[in-house]
Copies of this chain bind each other. A is one copy, B any other.
Amino acid sequence: MKQSAISSQRSAPPGVEAELEERRRLVEDALQRAFPPESAWPETIHRAVRYSLLAGGKRIRPLLALASGEAVGGRRDEVMPLACAVEMIHTYSLIHDDLPAMDNDDYRRGQLTNHKVFGEAMAILAGDGLLTLAFRLVADNFAAGGASAAALREVLVDVADGAGTHGMVGGQVVDIESEGKTVSPATLDYIHLHKTAALIRTSMRVGAVIAGATPAQVRIFTTAGTSLGLAFQIVDDILDVESTSEQLGKTAGKDQAQQKATYPAIHGLEASRTRARDLIAAAERSLAELGPRAEPLRALARFIFERKA
């Protein structure tokens, strides 16, 4: 087995990797079904959305949602629509972030970005459509499951806060405004905690809430989700420096070229690795309180640290 690009630890045992791959396949199947087929009218928008939504990707957020539900004894089919919804929100954010007016990227998940294939207007609308459908999926699923209005409210507000101007969108705003400027470590943390960690924390929390987590359990997911989300973005920053475009499926070295605020740029590579390792360890400790059912979730935490793309 290959060593991880950023650590000297051994990768997860083969059984865990196979299990992750199996879950990823289930997520792919569910995403296939969650969005209208390419033949649905108007065809262009549904082709554009499916092009980006079904382009692969690590599916970290849905896997975290599923494993979080599982960690508190929930059924996979209860959590799956929410898992799809957070991936749709993540995908919409990638489509919009890649636009020329934003990060202006040509490649994503190993293929041309949405606007390079479908044009800017369609890419904007594809993102809008995905975000809208994500909320529909959350709401539609709930009535079927018979959950209470209070639980539906909690999940929807969490998704909106994780994705909105106090979450992911807010992080993206400060990220864009910080380009080419010297940012403080506090601003860097704001960007990473909002642009990336907010939706990752939400993915874990809503997966647990819909599965019936107690308030005390939800607090564990809040803490662990924040650590994992921040670690995920720090590892992303490190990989942008250390990997090739082929490995990443998107343009490598882009952060430095765009003078983005990143962990390696501000703290150096070694301190960034240490910080990511510490955050993962902290998340694993929090999750250990949930007992053996949280083992798949802890395996995901290790995957986040050891991933190579």
> Which residues of A approach B to under 8 Å, CB–CB?
36, 40-42, 44-46, 49, 92-93, 96, 99, 101-102, 119-122, 124-125, 127-129, 131-133, 135-136, 138-140, 142-143, 146-153, 156-157, 159-161, 163-166, 169-170, 172-174, 176-177
Contacts and interface: CB of A to CB of B under 8 A. Distances in A.
Contacts of A143: 149-150, 153
A135, A142, A159, most chain B CB atoms within 10 A = A135
A135 B135 contact: yes
B165 A129 contact: yes
Given A45-B170, A136-B164, A156-B156, 7 more contacts: A92-B128, A122-B176, A127-B128, A132-B164, A133-B164, A135-B135, A142-B152
**10 closest Cβ pairs, A-B complex:** A136-B160, A101-B120, A139-B156, A143-B153, A132-B164, A129-B165, A149-B149, A135-B135, A42-B173, A45-B173
A47 to B, nearest CB: 11
Nearest to A153: B143
Nearest to A163: B132
A284 to B, nearest CB: 31
Contacts of A170: 41-42, 45, 129
Copies of this protein chain in the complex: 2
Contacts of A132: 131, 160, 163-165, 169
A143 to B, nearest CB: 4
26 contacts: A40-B165, A42-B173, A42-B177, A45-B170, A96-B125, A99-B124, A101-B120, A121-B176, A122-B176, A125-B173, A128-B128, A129-B164, A129-B169, A131-B132, A132-B163, A135-B135, A135-B156, A139-B152, A139-B156, A140-B156, A140-B157, A142-B153, A143-B153, A146-B149, A148-B149, A156-B156
